Amino acid sequence: MKSEPRGTDIEYLKGMYRTPVEHNWLTKLGRPTLHFIGALKYGPNPHQAGAEFESEDSSPICPITEIYGGKGGASEQNIDDVANGLMVVRPFTRPSVTIIKHLGPCAFATQRKDESLNDLYTSARMSNPKSAFGGIVVLNRPMTRELAENMGDTFIDVAAAPDFEAGAIDALKAKRKNIRIFEYPADGLQAIPMFVNEAAEGVYEFTSLPTGETLVHTPYLTNIRTSEDLITDPMIVRACERYIVARDPTLEESKDLLDAWWLVRRLRSNATLVYKNGTLLGTGAGQYDRSGGVELAITLALQTALDGKKLREDPDRVAREGWTRGGSSWKDLLDPLGYNPLEGAVLASDGFFPFRDSIDIAAKMGITAFVQPGGSEKDYESILATVTDENGRERKEPLSLCVTGERGFRH
């Protein structure tokens, strides 16, 4: 955190959206020769064929091995989901659990005190029990038998871990005979390039277009390793007036902001998420406008909190009444909850806030800290929103707004 005087000028960030990225591209870039490993059950959909290949020129960085294949074995989607789950847990050194649905994390929890893996899985599942149904569970620690038995009580499509305690696999198979189980090497996970200056020479990502062309880009490597890498006092100068975020995040907010930034990059853009105490509360992914994503993340956080409360109080209540329905106002969701689960939460955005409305919306629901790339023409309005509301009234407590200096789009 910075001491006085405050103010890190972020005006220069607008330039990154206008400046070509230089790279020593080869005039002829051949894809590696691929060696057939085996056919998959099917591709993305049951009417599409799918197969797995690996490069003849190099071994996989972190091979994913199917060790049990119920329901006819793995599909392409299963392997893709597991790989994306690995990217979710990759930056976390603490025990962590994610539940993946359609390539993105619908639930996540990481250790903050001394929670067991079973505790973390329960926290993740109960934070979004509706979406977790039929999900892909990925761990960054060996699966315990206790967790396997707990997981078997709900419908889980796939489980993946770096190892399995004695009896864990049998416990999963006994309760979920159709489950697919994958194993990956723990050291392989850390070998996947994720941060700037990690070995990524010659690593490229390819996108084959239906028109016949192929797009190629370098992998996303983030500069944000710790909360110290966040700009906590962004400043913009307009008409000789300095707009500066008034306060740094608290220690707990800093932890949550770092986690939230790592997670939001794994969602489909435009993406926002709400996060608190090491647990993902709600997401607004794949949205066409930023403030709409914020509203969706808040709505889903309240709906899933209410669903979790129902299940904790009476596991049969959801079966009788159904899940919390959409269309309810935030007040109608808060009243039966009896508390505000978003009070003191943080919000992450994979792109800059084009206007201040995202902050104003979130602040009304008790969200106190934000992280975003920066570089908007209206960054000064977002900074102003941390100290005054949309009507110009001074906030009781200033909000924290951190800037990463890098965008996190994922298409």
**pLDDT tens, residue by residue, 86-119:** 999 999 999 999 999 999 999 999 999 999 999 9
Confidence of residue 371 (pLDDT cuts 50, 70, 90): very high
Is pLDDT above 80 for 392?
yes
**pLDDT tens, residue by residue, 249-269:** 999 999 999 999 999 999 998
In order, the DSSP letters of 187-255 are HHHHHS--BTTSS-TT--EEEE-TTS-EEEE----BS-SSGGGSBSSEEEEETTEEEE---PPPHHHHH
Mean pLDDT of 130-153: 93
Is pLDDT above 70 for 4?
no
**pLDDT at residue 106, rounded to an integer:** 95
**pLDDT at residue 28, rounded to an integer:** 66
Give the single-character DSSP code of 151: H
**pLDDT at residue 407, rounded to an integer:** 92
Confidence of residue 72 (pLDDT cuts 50, 70, 90): confident
368 vs 311, residue with greater confidence: 368
**pLDDT at residue 57, rounded to an integer:** 67
**pLDDT at residue 337, rounded to an integer:** 92
Mean pLDDT of 399-403: 97
Mean pLDDT of 372-400: 94
Domains in the chain, ordered, with CATH? Answer: 8-17+225-403 (3.40.140.20), 60-191 (3.40.140.20)
Secondary structure of residue 300 in the 3-state scheme = helix
Kindly state the percentage of the chain with pLDDT values over 70: 97
**pLDDT tens, residue by residue, 309-318:** 888 888 888 7
**pLDDT tens, residue by residue, 346-363:** 999 999 999 999 999 999
State the pTM of this model: 0.93
Mean pLDDT of 311-340: 85
Mean pLDDT of 317-336: 83
The C-alpha angle with vertex 200 and arms to 199 and 204, in degrees rounded to 5, equals 170
Could you give the CA distance from residue 39 to residue 46 in angstroms, rounded to a whole number?
13
Could you give the CA distance from residue 304 to residue 315 in angstroms, rounded to a whole number?
15
What is the overall mean pLDDT for the chain?
A: 90
**pLDDT tens, residue by residue, 190-237:** 988 999 988 777 778 888 889 988 888 888 999 999 999 999 999 999
CA distances from 144 to 108, 302, 313, 370 (A): 18, 31, 26, 35
